[in-house]
Amino acid sequence: MRSSRSLRALAVAAAAALALSACGSDYPLGEEQRKAAENSTSKLEGIISGSGSTAQGPAMDAWIGGFRVLHPKVQVQYSPDGSGAGRNALLAGAVQFAGSDAYLQDEELAEAREVCGPGGALDIPAYISPIAVAFNLPGIDTLNLDAATVAKIFRGEIDAWNDPAIAGQNPGVQLPDTRITPVSRADDSGTTENFTEYLHEAAPEAWPTDPSGSWPGGLGGENAQGSAGVISTVTRTEGAVAYSDDSVVDESLGTVNLKVGDEYVPISAEGAAIAVEQSTRVPGRGEHDIALHLDRTTTAPGAYPLVLVSYQIFCSGYEDADTVELVKTFGQYVISDEGQEASADAAKSAPIPPTLAADARAAIESITTLP
Burial 250-269, CB ≥16 within 10 A → b, else e:
eeebbbbbbbbeeebbebeb
Give the C-alpha separation, 290 to 278, whole Å: 14
- For residues 343-363, average pLDDT: 93
Q: Which residue has the higher pLDDT, 29 or 250?
A: 250
Contact yes or no for 275/300 (Cβ under 8 A): yes
Answer whether 0.85 is exceeded by the pTM: no
* Residue 42, pLDDT score: 87
Burial class (CB in 10 A: 0-12, 13-18, 19+), 38: exposed
Q: Which amino acid is at 38?
A: E
Mean pLDDT value across residues 321-338: 97
Q: Which amino acid is at 47?
A: I
Band the pLDDT of 188: cuts 50, 70, 90. confident
Mean pLDDT of 254-263: 97
